[in-house]
Amino acid sequence: MTSDDRIDIHKDLSGSLRSNLDVHLKKIIALFKLIVCKHKIDDLEKMLYLHSYENCEITHMLNAILDSRVKNIDDKKEKILEFEELHKHLHKLQERVLVEYKNNDIVDDNTYEDFAVIEFQFIQKLTGLVIESENYEKNFDGLTNIFNRKYFFEKVEYDFSKSRRTRTDFTIVMADIDYFKQINDQYGHQVGDEVLVEISKIFVEHIRAYDIVARYGGEEFVFFMYSDARETITIFKRIEKLLQEELIEVNHHKIDLKCSFGIAQDRDNMSIYELVSLADKALYDAKKKGRNQIVVV
């Protein structure tokens, strides 16, 4: 899954969630009006169907999400599954409210309190999912559609702590496009921007789905790789080989694109920021030694 796909998913998700939040609120208002204004229920079966889990727009949306693309985003899938369970519970309580009102012309205090509490929790979670999905775009670099530097550190903080705790191998990689200023000077900044987009795509395609890449700034990129130095070197050797063998075509220009890489192995006494700084120093050494190479520290 590409970064573009992830952003599109969250645009679709936030739009669907917001739309269905509006629909849900209208249905709940109608249900309250029915009871408060003491309207009669002529056809209980029809009313139960209108408020059923199976007939709910949110159910259809959640099923579509869980059956297709969002299941590829693990953190989102878990929240959607939790939300779905709450949603099912809410519909059972709605059914209880309707049946009691139809049979007794009143709703039991305990039933109403149970329903009100779950309805409040449901609205809270649904609103939270809307806000979270709308904010998701802010985690990405506007040009390349990979993570930005700020979100890289936010996301990696958890991965970093977990890897230390479980003794899982990881490495930090810094990458820089060689002679990027010359590309801008020769072809113009628009081509330079397209080069950044293309190299980002190459990085995303050649690392694994669980590795993390972000634009660090300018023509620099940072990676959190779930592998030891040897395996990480193998991955970036493949990228290096690809760039050596192929010209990158951008706006009808064939560009000889090369990168330098600095790889830092984990040190128990270093923070994530210190490891990134160490990888940056390794990158500087790669540049100093002539560029188009990998340096490991």
Query: What is the distance between the alpha carbons of residues 297 and 284, in angstroms, rounded to a whole number?
Result: 12
262, 173 in Cβ contact below 8 A?
A: yes
Helix axes 3-36, 74-104, angle to 10 degrees: 10
Distances in whole angstroms, Cα of residue 260 to Cα of each of 48, 144, 179: 64, 19, 10
DSSP characters for 141-159?
Answer: -TTT-SEEHHHHHHHHHHH
Which pLDDT does position 142 carry in this prediction?
Answer: 85
Domain ranges across the chain: 3-138, 147-296
The answer for residues whose C-beta is within 8 angstroms of residue 238's C-beta and 6 or more apart is: 206
- For 110-148, letters b (16+ CB in 10 Å) and e give ebbebbeebbeebeeebeebbebbbebeebbbeebbbbb
Rounded mean pLDDT for each run of 10 residues along the chain, 297 residues in total: 52 75 91 92 92 89 67 60 91 96 94 95 88 78 91 88 86 96 94 95 93 95 95 96 91 92 91 95 96 93
Residue 123's Cβ-side half-sphere holds a number of Cα atoms within 13 Å equal to: 13
Q: Which two tokens stand for residue 203?
A: 């990085």
Which pLDDT does position 85 carry in this prediction?
Answer: 92
3-state DSSP call for residue 225? strand
Placement of tokens 């779930």 in the chain: 226
| pTM, 2 dp | 0.65
Helix axes 109-136, 3-36, angle to 10 degrees: 160
Which pLDDT does position 57 carry in this prediction?
Answer: 87
How does DSSP classify residue 72?
G
Q: Which two tokens stand for residue 163?
A: 């890897």
Query: What is the distance between the alpha carbons of residues 279 and 224, in angstroms, rounded to a whole number?
Result: 11
Q: Which of 3.30.70, 1.10.3820, 1.20.120, 2.60.40 would CATH assign to domain 3-138?
A: 1.20.120
Which pLDDT does position 214 carry in this prediction?
Answer: 96
**β-strand partners of 250:** 253
Which pLDDT does position 5 carry in this prediction?
Answer: 52
Architecture of the domain defined by 147-296: 2-Layer Sandwich (3.30)
